[in-house]
């Protein structure tokens, strides 16, 4: 490898130091320019009337603008149906599921006090004295 003379080494070191300083200043400037929360705060402090009026106009537009209407598609029912009705047409599956959920809720409400007593007897000795109400 070729040897670098001492003068060139010093020049390279000073160039590197200058580049580091310049890079630091550039990054500080970039951070300053990209600090959007600070920019919004300063803008609101300097011209609050403009911001308030713009927000008021936006609020009025949102309140007055018509809501998007949902499209509902309805299948026409045939006048005459021959043969057996399908389950999806009659809604029997939904009714059965609803009844099953209702029965499970009632059974759970009835069994809850018995389960609480059973668990209290089974694990009552682990927690020390029960809290006084």
- Find where tokens 């009552």 sit: 124
Distances (CA, A) of 120 to 30, 76, 107, 112: 65, 58, 20, 12
Here the tokens at position 131 are 């809290």
What pLDDT was estimated at residue 124? 72
Give the 3-state secondary structure of residue 86. Answer: coil
Query: Residue-wise pLDDT tens for the chain (133 aa)?
Result: 567 677 788 888 999 999 999 999 999 999 999 999 999 899 999 999 999 999 999 999 988 887 778 888 888 776 666 665 554 455 667 788 888 999 999 999 999 998 888 888 887 766 556 656 5
What pLDDT was estimated at residue 128? 59
Count the Cβ atoms, other than its own, within 10 Å of residue 51. Answer: 14
Q: d(Cα 86, Cα 95) in Å, to the nearest integer?
A: 14
What pLDDT was estimated at residue 129? 61
Radius of gyration (C-alpha) of the chain in whole angstroms = 38
Instruction: Report pTM.
Output: 0.35
């Amino acid at each position: 490898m070729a040897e670098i003379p001492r003068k060139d080494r010093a020049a390279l070191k000073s160039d590197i130091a200058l580049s580091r300083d310049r890079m630091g200043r550039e990054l500080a400037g970039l951070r300053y320019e990209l600090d959007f929360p600070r920019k919004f705060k300063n803008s609101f402090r300097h011209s609050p009337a403009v911001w308030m009026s713009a927000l008021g106009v936006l609020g009025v537009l949102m309140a007055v603008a018509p809501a998007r209407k949902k499209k509902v598609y309805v299948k026409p029912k045939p006048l005459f149906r021959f043969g057996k009705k399908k389950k999806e047409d009659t809604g029997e599956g939904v009714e059965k599921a609803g009844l099953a959920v209702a029965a499970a809720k009632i059974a759970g409400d009835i069994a809850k006090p018995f389960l609480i007593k059973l668990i209290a007897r089974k694990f009552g000795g682990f927690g020390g004295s029960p809290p006084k109400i």
